[in-house]
A and B are shown apart, each in its own frame.
Chain A
């Protein structure tokens, strides 16, 4: 027979620490780590008064894998596959942020064709990420069919990425100074076709879901994040643009060749879940337009730099690579001490900042709306824990 100490029966450390300040006649509820709407292992401790949330506290670290520490024991190229595992939905953006930082350390020039390939594949990956978010968010809100449509379209994009990268989810495609494989005619034709196809699907999404009265009631005026709150927590990406700030690294500090393309930065001023929803739906169209422009002006040439050092040993120094991922600004700070292993790698994940504001935003709202807010933030848990 098992015997538990009295304090063990009251829950783990987080629950006990949380209960200390609770009022009377309230209910402490663990939302997660195994909750369908947390998409991974996010745990949120809630103090409920009836159906209303008084306090909320996210508990992190269930999928902590020491990604930063791993960077200190592996060589520069050996750390590349880790990037795909940090954020499994927009792996190529993480790939990009890392190679951007190391390229800055090495003073490497990236061939023009490789830059175009990076733009095309990264935007395609952004679309797959948004499609999954779209399906999963609506699944949280109780609509089952949209995820089927979203996944059917996402499969097509993943088939395309599989042609050149060889994998479907955790890509390890960019290398220092270029990309590992050139585009094939099959990929180029398939991508052109996919862009046309998705443009016919997006109006269907609008008819089926965006204009739907039931969805409007679940997202309109729910989870209002004012601009100053977003700025305090360091929110970036579609969540910040949903608060009416036109901030996008692709436009504000154009890295790579993003300054050559003509695209809009969608932003909505309502600051609610609907605004964040619409930002992502508009972003998919913008990504399609970027892909089409990039494919039309794709130059010929090599995809790797002509002179590549055999062993990658950057000189002493620091570099910061930042790109716009599907969830916000992805930043990687690499410090080199002149050896083949990085001295330190710091990963800045957008989802961490985006989740941090949940405690403040969820005060005094209905429990059902908390699910809607969590979904509208588009969290990827492995990215939060790293």
Chain B
């Protein structure tokens, strides 16, 4: 639909100035719509998506749901997630003694069961200086062990303050909530 721009006569133009003044006058007596931070705060911060936090297990709030797959660190476009993993050797459960069979003595002996390695999450380091808040880590997590925080007033003086250890934060948060 190709239209023509409306043309204006001088009289219409002068009238438009008064119409504009009427709009301004109307808005002058309307209530204020701005928020005076910090005396007031806006009320829509619940949906704000801040840096990530670890989600604790339901039955054990001191350990996280994380299964140490490292998908989040791989998915991150800015490489800001680092998982510190400690490997611990666990003694294998003693295998049930098989009854020695005289007929099958030439069969090769069973190989000794491998020692199991248990991987434990020591620290979950987030370098928030590099994060671009894209949310790829939360989307790729297979067990939903990551969530967004809603702290929009986060501030600090040095870069080091924005390198978070999320496991410690999660535990502190639980301790604070259980003691208080």
Query: What residues of chain A lie closer than 8 Å to B23, measured between beta carbons?
Result: 204, 207-208
Q: Report B's interface with A, CB cutoff 8 A.
A: 1-5, 8, 12-14, 16-17, 19-20, 22-24, 27, 33, 44, 47-49, 75-77, 132-136, 139-140, 148
8 smallest CB-CB distances across A and B, nearest first, come from A166-B49, A213-B13, A81-B134, A78-B77, A172-B134, A208-B23, A211-B16, A267-B2
Interface 1/0s, chain A 80-99, versus B by CB < 8 A?
A: 11100100000000000000
Q: Does A346 make an interface contact (CB < 8 A)?
A: no
A172 touches B135 (CB 8 A): yes
Interface residues of A in 74-116 (CB under 8 A from B): 74, 77-82, 85
- Of the listed stretches A11-19, A269-277, A358-366, A372-380, chain B binds A269-277
Of the residues A80, A212, A267, contact of B16 by C-beta under 8 Å: A212
Q: Does A152 make an interface contact (CB < 8 A)?
A: yes
Query: What residues of chain A lie closer than 8 Å to B148, measured between beta carbons?
Result: 166
A268 touches B16 (CB 8 A): no
Q: Does A371 make an interface contact (CB < 8 A)?
A: no
B19 touches A162 (CB 8 A): no
**Which A residue sits closest to B49, measured CB to CB?**
A166
Query: What residues of chain B lie closer than 8 Å to A81, measured between beta carbons?
Result: 77, 132, 134, 136
Interface 1/0s, chain A 342-354, versus B by CB < 8 A?
A: 0000000000000
Instruction: Known A81-B136, A207-B20; judge A166-B47 contact (CB<8 A).
Output: yes
17 chain-A/chain-B pairs, Cβ below 8 angstroms:
A77-B75, A77-B136, A80-B136, A159-B44, A162-B47, A166-B133, A166-B135, A172-B135, A208-B19, A209-B20, A211-B8, A212-B20, A213-B17, A246-B2, A265-B1, A268-B4, A270-B5
Expressed in whole angstroms, the Cα–Cα distance for A149 and B33 within the complex equals 10
A244 touches B132 (CB 8 A): no
A268 touches B20 (CB 8 A): no
Of the residues A175, A208, A278, contact of B5 by C-beta under 8 Å: A278
Of the residues B3, B8, B22, B134, contact of A268 by C-beta under 8 Å: B3
Of the residues A78, A85, A165, A270, contact of B4 by C-beta under 8 Å: A270
